[in-house]
Structure 1
Amino acid sequence: MQISDILEKLQSNHNLRTLTSLRREGLYVFHENHKMLNFAGNDYLNLADDTNLKQEFLSHIHSHNFFFSSSSSRSLSGNFEIYNMLESFLANFFTNKECLLFNSGYHLNVSCISALSNLPNTLFLADKLIHASMIDGLLCGNARFKRFAHNDMEELENLLESYANDYERIIILTEALFSMDGDFAHIKQIVKLKQSYQNVFLYVDEAHSVGAIGVDGLGLLKDMGIDYEIDFIIFTFGKAIASVGACVLCANEYKDFFINKARGLIYSTALPPINIAFSAFILSKILSFQKKRENLKKISHLFKSCLLSRGIESLGEAHIVSLIIGDNEKAIQFAKGLMERGFYAPAIREPSVPKGKERIRFSLNSDLKKEQILDLQKAILESIK
């Protein structure tokens, strides 16, 4: 099959992806001078647009972090002091854990899961809705894995009972807050299952919860007081933290293992020190953003209530809310209708979601106003008609 045939097939299935040129100003994006309220970003606390915050950072940044390239991998000459400072800072919040930085959540999950896949006699049990980066890690590492239905604790328990005696280690993969369905993992139940076995480990991605969830902003696991039970905690900085990069929090032995075996760390030029310094700057202020987190929770509840009051079914338990459309073409047309009414929420299609689960996903942020949510509700109703 030729590349042209592949592209033509994607086009005919209304599944051809293109890149839309946008300009962002505050809560809005502009496309060809058309102004739209942005519901497609993951800047949950709206920090990326905070001019005062950025100016404060730039006015205090030390000259030895003012580099726009590290020019090397961390294992060579790219390991600037700021990397170790941020790792130590984050590790101090957690019991018996060290921190290791990566260039992105995708780099991290592919590299770490692939490395863990090469440990002898290891089996992964993966929630069916885990992020593509985690799946790619399994595939790149030729891992042995089984998938269980989303948040199905009975199926997970049955898998553990079936395989626990056959493997040296079993690693459960899940997200804290799922990126597409917007619901929470049943973490306490998973921890309880883990406690019944000596060879079961938990790997939890907090990409969409760190910064946005918890009284201290350090994610769902910390807020629930069970972070010490989780063997691998993944933070990403490109969403609520308004920066770039990611980290894994794990035992020191695993940190050393990843430094030696995680190919995305070993063979990538490290992020520029200025980016690491900005992540450190935001995280040093993470406690002070509690009012924003409370506003985000209120806005999320308001939006869900607005939809429910009009009989509109939606997915999501927090700041990610989805309307299931179930068809590529219909989802695209629905998104276009919203755009015409001044709301930017592109269609989410397979393979990002399973076929038949195509949707419009709304990513909320803490600075949205009640009036804007009510206007969005009206636009949704008009698009449904």
Structure 2
Amino acid sequence: MLEKQSRNSSIHEYPSETNQVNKRKNIAKGRIPISVTIGLVLTCITIALQCIAFFTPHWKEISPNAHSLYVDGVDALIRTEVLHYFNTVHRYTRHSYGLFQRCEYILSNSSVYNYQTNLVNIFRNQDGQKCTRNYLPSYNDEHFNECHSLPYYRFCTKANEKKFDVNNDYLRTAFDISSLSSSSDSKSSCECHYPPYVILCRILTILGLLFLALTIVLYICTLFCKNQHYRMKIRCFGLLTVISSVLFLLLTLIITRQHMEYESMDYLIAIQKHYRSNQIYKLSQDMKIAIDRFLESVEIRTGYSAIIAWVALLLSIVDGILLLTTCRTPNEASDDESETHMNLMSSSANEDHQFIAIPDDIQSPATFVNHHHEMPHKLPTLHEDEV
């Protein structure tokens, strides 16, 4: 009687556990579209943030932290050149730089506000901000004497033009270059270009965005892929795309971090390289001292574009982790199923051993325990039945 009840209870409990396993599987299947949706949203947000950082001119900001620059103990020629550059370019303006544009903000306490307005009003907006392409002078050292000048530098940073045409009447008036040579050689040797590191960062960022877009495609594939073997392939490709995008975006941030002083120092570094190449080491050393004094007079800090790029990098890492957890391999699924099956078998076996007892001696009679304090009586043995 007890044996039948135990078997019936085990039979009723086994389907209930099977139903629980099926419910868990259904819940797991329902979680896959939710995780894919979250991954798609995060990847789209990552691409949007990276595009904002890519096109905004605020990767770094440079502003003066002193009203004057003190350069002592150097040659008078070096001191005059550095002071003229600082007073003209950085003393009254705040600069921000990006991968495409640079912007200048004239400070409110500038005493030359009206003077600069008359010179470059064609490039200015109503709010005192003027943004142009992030151009810098580009020339060989052999053309240093004819190309390296502050008017040429200001032309590249303000005019949005690559060719420095000294025959242009407006340029001669606005940038005071009437004293420069007007030969054709001057026009061909003095040009304006983007800094080399900016072009490299653009390429790396575009590659990172392409791999992020490929991650979106892989997320969409998980919605239509039901085969565990193909899910494993998606997982492998997802790992490659995420690692590639993170690598390219991280390299972009590292390179921009290493070139925080590039635009503001390019004019002065060109002078130092020229003296060093011509073996004028005294002036080259004085220029190095003047550059250190210049860096003490300006403040260089990270802009919000770089901060947005760091946030996009962290989100891309989260996208990769979510993609790896979404696509499960066949081995993992089979391991879970086998573990569940073993648990069910072990539980049913324990129940059978709990209610069924095999006597050691078949000949010995089984004894029932009387719970009402009656005398126990033995069942007749096989020999007695025969008699």
TM-score, normalising length: structure 1: 0.22
Judging by fraction of residues, say which structure has more strand: 1
Judging by fraction of residues, say which structure has more helix: 2
Look at both structures and tell me which one has the larger radius of gyration over its CA atoms.
2
Higher RCO structure, 1 or 2 (CA under 8 Å, sep 6+): 2
